[in-house]
Amino acid sequence: MNKLVIFASGSGSNFLSIINHITNGHLNAKIVGLITNKAEIGAIDIARQYGIPHCILSSAQFTNNKTYESALLNQCVQWNPSLIICAGYLRKIPANLILAYPNRIINIHPSLLPKFGGHGFYGLHVHKSVLKSKETHTGCTIHIVSTEYDQGPILAQERLVVDPSESAEQLAKRVLKLEHQLYPPHYQYHISFLICLQSFLDIS
């Protein structure tokens, strides 16, 4: 069974979408834990509802970044995931975690990267920028997490037509719906790829 750890910072809609895909038999995996940097959020409520262990880890809890990053890594090591999935996680993933799980941390971003990606581009900031720039299309991007914001290799993209009369909030809802459709199936593809790659390396 492939084990997933989810990182989330908000309502947990993508988190719930993953749970539904597993429950419906569309994803051969088990969520072994949720890591969040915030308390009292929807993602934690979802974790409690489905009996999924969760851990709140924020840099504010620690005296320095090094101890925070070590705690984050230690929690992941304890859960031993096949894949780490960022589902609306609003913190930069530390380099030590990326080194420990190379090509095994993926994220979904609410734009067609490389457009509207990088530091400061998250949530409604992205959609307001898309509308302000009069883009005709936007969408979402699944990518491998690297040490730079939103610059890891792209795994998949899905696009939609922008309605210039809609608000950033309306556009955000449409892009989020697209994320729910695109994201979960690609976990299985990526896990299968990693298994094949590891088998090749073992043979070599």
Show which residues are catalytic: 109
Tokens representing 16 are 């719930």
End-to-end CA distance of the chain: 25
Cα distance between residue 33 and residue 12, in whole Å: 13
Edge-to-edge strand ranges of the sheet holding 29-36:
54-56, 29-36, 2-8, 83-86, 105-109, 137-144, 154-161
Please, which residues have CB within 8 angstroms of residue 90's CB and are 6 or more apart in sequence? 9, 10, 37, 122, 123
Tokens representing 110 are 């609410």
